[in-house]
Amino acid sequence: MRYLLYGVGLLALAGPLRAEPCVMDDAGREVCLEAPAQRIVALSPGVTELLYAAGAGERLVGAVSFSDYPPEANDLPRVGSYDRLDLEALLALDPDLVVAWSGGNPEQQLERLPTLGVPVFFSDADDFAAIAANLARFGELAGSEAEGQAAATRLRDEVAELRDRYAEADPVRVFYQVWESPLMTVNGEHWISQALALCGGVNLFAEQSSLVPRIGREAVLTRDPEAIITGGMGKADSTWLEAWHDFPDMTAVQRGNLFFVNPDLVQRATPRLVQGTRDICRHLEVVRERR
């Protein structure tokens, strides 16, 4: 603490100097900064949303395309797309922290950043616990610890409430459709599958080795889901569900259990995943009522 001698006393001019933030990222690397980050670049739409939720929005100076939530994220300068970064544009923003998406961003481009003196935090939030942990860590790195911890606690409490509410719910056999052509779903390790399980849903392709496997339509028909859920190509695009009406013998079609959810609420690992999970839970309650 700095002081100025004033008369016979000491007058404090400033509070305690903030400790240098130092956290472990999702790649198991220690990320240490000389001071809380003031100029942050986010390399996926989900990471952008997490940083805002952790109270670091005012410190964001750049993001990749499709970073559209919260609305103010639309005004951030773009540094390419998540799968093809514009390193020149990124470096021109003079960031003191880059938050990357492990497994999503180009590895070779990411490897260049530390050699250029830019600290990189590798984020790989793949379930509710990891989302909460990153909220807290982002708050620490950005000097917004209170906001980050509050957001993490709120998320954990909301998940616990859903787990308790649906702990005894009858299971529902579900096919979750990620994409239409090629037809794609999620395996049991994906956070969407974990959201389904929280509601009492059983992912019919949980055993697949790939996180987002391609499958044949015949495989879906053979497993005969009781419900089909999809996020479609946009926030209000449920056209993918229409194709399933060509298979009237399937249980999900017979009972009208074809449901749409906003993809932004389930296909991004952010706090809004809780809202998307609530929507899934409501759909599965309808399935149970139609038995």
Q: What local confidence, expressed as pLDDT, does residue 234 receive? A: 62
- Spatial contact of 54 and 46, defined as CB atoms under 8 Å apart: no
**Polymer length in residues for the chain:** 291
CATH architecture of 22-160: 3-Layer(aba) Sandwich (3.40)
Asked if pLDDT for residue 242 goes beyond 60, the answer is yes
Report d(CA 143, CA 250) in Å as an integer.
53
Query: pLDDT tens digit string along 180-223?
Result: 999 999 999 999 999 999 999 999 999 999 999 999 999 999 99
Averaged pLDDT score across all residues of the chain: 92
Query: pLDDT tens digit string along 246-283?
Result: 999 999 999 999 999 999 999 899 999 999 999 999 99
State mean pLDDT over 133-138: 98
In the chain, % of residues over pLDDT 90: 88
Contacts 24+ apart (CB under 8 A), 266-269: 266/192, 266/195, 266/231, 267/178, 267/192, 267/231, 268/45, 268/46, 268/49, 269/46, 269/125, 269/126, 269/127, 269/130, 269/131, 269/191
DSSP 11-79: EE-S-PPPPPPEEE-TTS-EEE-SS--SSEEESSHHHHHHHHHTT-GGGEEEE-TT--SSGGGGGSPB-
Task: Give the 3-state secondary structure percentages of the chain, helix then strand then coil, rounded to 5.
Answer: 40, 20, 40
> 220 — phi, psi (to 5°)?
-70, -45
User: Is the domain 169-289 a CATH 3.40.50.1980 member?
Assistant: yes
> 166 — phi, psi (to 5°)?
-110, 15
- pTM over 0.85, yes/no: yes
**Residue 97, beta-bridge partner list:** 40
State mean pLDDT over 140-157: 98
Measured between alpha carbons, how far is residue 279 from residues 7, 152, 165, 199, 275 in Å? Answer: 65, 21, 14, 10, 6
Q: What local confidence, expressed as pLDDT, does residue 89 receive? A: 97
Does this chain's domain 22-160 share its CATH topology with 169-289?
yes
Cα torsion for 31, 36, 37, 42, to the nearest 10°?
A: 60
Asked if pLDDT for residue 15 goes beyond 90, the answer is no
Return the domain boundaries, the chain: 22-160, 169-289
Query: pLDDT tens digit string along 227-238?
Result: 999 987 666 667
Asked if pLDDT for residue 10 goes beyond 50, the answer is no
Q: What local confidence, expressed as pLDDT, does residue 16 receive? A: 43
Asked if pLDDT for residue 17 goes beyond 60, the answer is no
Which band of pLDDT confidence, cut at 50, 70 and 90, is reported for residue 63? very high
Which band of pLDDT confidence, cut at 50, 70 and 90, is reported for residue 102? confident
State mean pLDDT over 16-22: 69
